[in-house]
Amino acid sequence: MLLPIEPRHCTVCKQGLYRDKTMFRGGWSRCTVCDEFIHYSCLASGKFSFLKARPRICKKCRAAETNPTASRQAGSAVAVGS
């Protein structure tokens, strides 16, 4: 019995990391913060829009880095005692 090969999915755009989609768009890379494979186009922009930031960081991690209060409030629930 052969098991099908499940492709990885980009955590930013939720699309598969298929070779036919990524071959002419720069391929894929790994985010240095969350350590997930993502499309090259889903990396955060650097100084110029067509260059990518170094170290490689995805748009989702960059948004959490620039706005830490929103990600902290959404991620944790605070228990209120009486």
**pLDDT tens-digit profile, the chain (82 residues):** 676 777 788 888 888 887 666 566 677 888 899 888 888 888 888 888 778 888 888 888 888 888 876 545 555 555 666 5
Per-residue pLDDT at 28: 81
Task: Express each pLDDT in 32-47 by its tens digit.
Answer: 998 888 888 888 888 8
CA gap 19, 17 in Å, rounded: 7
pLDDT value for 79:
61
**pTM summary value:** 0.63
Instruction: Tell me the domains of the chain and their CATH numbers.
Output: 1-67 (3.30.40.10)
Q: Which of helix, strand or coil describes residue 77?
A: coil
Output the pLDDT for position 22. 59
